[in-house]
Structure formats: structure tokens, C-alpha cells
Amino acid sequence: MRFHLLDRIEELKKFDYALGVKCITLADDCFEHHFPGAPVFPGALLQEAMAQLGGALLELSLREVMDYTPRCVLTTVKAKFRDFVKPGDRVALRARITSRHEDSAMVQVDAHCDDRRVAQAEFLYVYLKVDDERLDRARNDFLDIVTKETRFVE
């Protein structure tokens, strides 16, 4: 994955919810063109950060109950953007599994900056078995980094 847009997962309860963070800095490459003199974090990148949290929640939950480590692949997105996200903002993300099936799951994610909701989305993921050791290693490295200080709730 080229874009790691989730800085960390602060708390996770398997098969229930995850709390994550994305810190927006002026150093992010997107601000060179979006928009000079009036930087706004692109909605597509905010949506990707939200989707990464939802996918991580599912993959970390499913690791122990499936006979393989699934890759959760996004298939459907319904999103609403309510306010701009700018450099200096700390985006708090909350993902919640709303339904889960044998081969798919629905996750709802809200994004807040301070007390204002900036976006909300509903994501449908399907579980995919990927037999590629290099991809598995890269994904596990990413999950290890973002969960380094995660509080796992029982």
C-alpha cells in the first residue's frame, strides 16, 4: 500500500469498534496542489483513512477465527463530507462493525476534528484470501505499526 493514511489505532474491541487517529500536517504532499494558499485535505484521502481503519478492525478481528488471515477489500462506499479538514487538524476516527457475514462485513466510520463531525461513511468489505508472502508481510508490518500502543478491550 502506498498511502498509509492511518497514523495509529488507539483502542480496539474485536468484532465491535476501533478508535483511530490521522494527524494532518502541512508537509503532506497533497497540499502542494490542493489548494495553494488555502490548503484543504482531500476528501478522497480522508475517506481512505476511514477505510483503512475499518479494514484494520476487520482483519485484526478475523485473524483468530478464520483458517487464513483475510485481506478485507473495499467493495462499496457511501460517504458524506460535512466540513473541511486542514493542516494542524487531528482527525479522530471511530469505526464500528454494523453487520458481519461469512464472506463480508459492513463498517460505519465517523471522523471528527475536535467537536465537529467532518465526515461519515459506510463501507462494505469482502474477505479475500491472498497467497502472497510479500503482501502479507507488508500488511502485517503496517498493522504492527498502527497498533503498537493500542489498548485492546475485551
Would you list the DSSP string of 114-130? TTEEEEEEEEEEEEE--
- pTM reported for the whole predicted model: 0.95
* pLDDT at 91 (0 to 100): 98
Of residues 33 and 85, more confidence is placed in: 85
Structural domain total, the chain: 1
Where in the sequence is the domain holding 112, given as residue range(s)? 8-153
For residues 58 and 135, the model is more confident at 58
Do the domain assignments include residue 54?
Answer: yes
> How does residue 43 score in pLDDT terms, banded at 50, 70 and 90?
very high
Cell of residue 89, nine digits: 487538524
Confidence of residue 68 (pLDDT cuts 50, 70, 90): confident
Contacts 24+ apart (CB under 8 A), 26-33: 26/87, 26/88, 28/87, 31/87
Asked whether residue 103 carries a pLDDT value surpassing 60, the answer given is yes
Residue 93, domain CATH = 3.10.129.10
For residue 127, is it within any domain?
A: yes
Query: For 111-116, what is the mean pLDDT?
Result: 96
The catalytic site residues sit at 34
d(CA 21, CA 26): 16
The answer to whether residue 2 is domain-embedded is no
Measure the CA–CA gap between 133 and 126, rounded to whole angstroms.
Answer: 20
The owner of cell 476501533 is 18
The distance in angstroms from the start CA to the end CA of the chain is 30
Q: What is the pLDDT at residue 1?
A: 53
**Domain presence at residue 117:** yes
| Max Cα-Cα span within the chain | 51
Averaged pLDDT score across all residues of the chain: 95
> Residue 32: what pLDDT?
86
CB atoms within 10 A of CB 23: 12
| pLDDT interval class at 69 (50, 70, 90) | confident
The DSSP output letter for 6 is: -
Please check whether residue 1 lies inside any domain of the structure: no
Can you tell me the distance from the alpha carbon of 5 to that of 36, in angstroms, rounded to the nearest whole number?
Answer: 21
